[in-house]
Chain A
Amino acid sequence: MTEKFDEVKEVKVDYTRLRVPLGPVHPALKEPISLTVTVRREEILDVVIRLGHVHRGIEALAETRNLIQTLYLVERICGICSHSHTTGFVQALEEIGEIELSDRSLHLRSLIFELERMQSHLFLIGIMAYEIGFDTLFMFTWYEREKILDLFEEITGNRIHHSMNTLGGVRWDLSPSFVEKVNCSLNKIEKSAKYIQEVFQDKTVEKRLCGVGVLDYDEARELCVVGPTARGSGVKVDIRKAYPYAAYSELKDDFSVVLRNTADAQARTQVRILELFESINLIRAILEKLPDGPIYKESVIKLMKKIPEGEATSLVEAPRGELLYFVRTNGKEGLWRLNVRTPTIPNVLGLKPMLIGSEIADIPVTVASIDPCMACANRITVVDQDKRETIVTDLKNLRNRGKKQ
């Protein structure tokens, strides 16, 4: 027996190409995403991206509830852009039920939208600072974000899930004293945003971000990336301009689309910082123009009963990009189908061209720079390619399949 162990086995390993698994649980990536990276020394040659670790089955769950219950369910798809999700959903319902909204409620919707965009961008700017190892800046940005969350708490009663939207309007009104408070906070935030902008032009920060994760214009167009990720590559897409919703058709002239051409992580961060100023301008314009009037129509129960069978799609510009809602109601207060296309789904595709050719150390920064929200982007479709058919499966079935493997 000993002879066998004495034999020296020659194993041939090709050290020029190594496959490194990253995630789904990895200290550098905040949300579960699995990247299998093929590297030659430090250089990345290929990336395989796999999602699906945090699938929550929200679309299926929505089919078992009535419309009002679903409103609070879709809000919980994302904590950072909860208002975008409810806006997308109620807009589709309002289109099906042909519900007209008052001007004031539309303006209030846009106001919360912009505040949300600011807190989301500050959040990501903080994360970027953290990923490049600049923790002081991370703390500073998040402190500013806290001011917006406090505003949310005062206006709507909750910091994250504001529940501002309801069928036919919004739920909380803005009194003059709130207007004053918002203005006061905006002035402070504007000052700090200028400071943040200055720090991001610092040499050390620039060295860490410039030329990292480049996604050029053509690739961005081809992959249909959305939001600040697309705008950082010079693609001019903004739903607020292209298909104005809420009060944006009246506010068209109060903001501009920020574009950058360098297409790297620095460009995407710059876009977000500059959009902070655009949002501040927008909020000031909204507060100035805020028309009088009621904020909602009638009891939601009555409105829910009135919604007939039908389908609608609605688009909103969430902080991360274009968010699409497809809603099909069954005319009995419920839903046949809800389909949500969150901005991370197209943006995550951009990761591959961004990562190929860069270095391992740049992975966290690049992943963070598209502002991913993995839990929003997990979907299940079973497609049998040989038989060319799609299978509809239930949760129990899926669980059993998972056990077998």
Chain B
Amino acid sequence: MKLGNMLRDALRALLHKPVTVRYLTRAGEMVSVPERYRGKIVYDKEACIGCLLCIRTCPSGVITTTEEKKVSFNISRCVFCAQCAEICPTDAIRLGSDFEIVTSEKEDLIVQ
């Protein structure tokens, strides 16, 4: 590497704007995620017909049945593979854009 090149790179790095982004862009506003991003599950209870296909294909045992023949999701086990959303015949499951799911309450991680 020649000295000139090194100087040029150092100067460029100084003037370059940072490559990192702020985590919260504005108060309450999250960093944007792409359209296909797989985040926290959004479940449409009305649309669900209780076919239980999602339970059969879920790789990590997230989904359990409820008394009213619907399903409930325990997100703390979810690996966000979207297989359940793909298999659901009525599109009752969707993987949303919410990725901030850290919480101190276990109940917050149950989607019904």
Give A residues with C-beta under 8 Å from B.
65-66, 68-73, 76, 143, 153-158, 161, 163, 166, 171-172, 198-199, 202, 299-301
**Within 8 Å CB of A69, what residues of B?**
57-59
A-B contact count (CB 8 A): 58
B window 12-33: CB within 8 A of A? 19, 33
Please tell me which one of the listed residues B1, B35, B59, B82 contacts residue A65 in the complex, with CB atoms under 8 A apart.
B59
Query: Pick the contact of A156 from B33, B36, B58, B59 — CB < 8 Å?
Result: B36
- B1 lies within 8 A of A199 (CB): yes
Whether, in the assembled complex, B49 has its beta carbon less than 8 Å from a beta carbon of chain A, the answer is no
Do residues B36 and A155 form an inter-chain contact, with CB atoms below 8 A? yes
Nearest chain A CB to B83's CB is how many angstroms away?
7
Given A153-B37, A157-B38 in contact, is the A66-B56 Cβ separation under 8 Å? yes
User: Are A154 and B34 interface neighbours, CB within 8 A?
Assistant: yes
Whether the pair B87, A300 counts as a contact (CB closer than 8 A) is: yes
Q: Which residues 30-88 in B have Cβ within 8 Å of A in the complex? A: 33-38, 53, 56-60, 79-83, 86-87
Q: List residues of chain B with CB within 8 A of the CB of A70.
A: 59
Interface size on B, residues (CB 8 A): 22
User: Among B1, B35, B57, B86, which residue has the most Cβ atoms of chain A within 10 A?
Assistant: B57
What is the minimal beta-carbon distance from B102 to any residue of chain A, in angstroms?
A: 18
Docked Cα-Cα span, A299 to B51, in Å, equals 15
Contact of B59 among A73, A154, A155, A166 (CB under 8 A): A73
Closest beta carbon of chain B to A168's beta carbon, Å? 13
Residue of B nearest to A155 (CB): B36
A158 CA to B37 CA, complexed, in Å: 6
Residues B37 and A157 in contact, CB atoms below 8 Å apart: yes
- Report the separation of the CA atoms of residues A200 and B53 in the bound assembly, to the nearest whole angstrom: 52
Interchain CB contact under 8 A, A161 and B81: yes
**Known interface pairs A66-B56, A202-B1, A301-B57. Does A158 touch B87 (Cβ–Cβ under 8 Å)?**
no
Report B-chain residues with C-beta under 8 Å of the C-beta of A161: 79, 81
For A202, the chain B residues whose CB sits under 8 A away are: 1
| Nearest 6 pairs of A and B residues by beta carbon | A72-B59, A157-B36, A69-B59, A157-B38, A154-B34, A68-B57
- Collect the chain B residues with CB atoms within 8 Å of residue A163's CB: 81-83
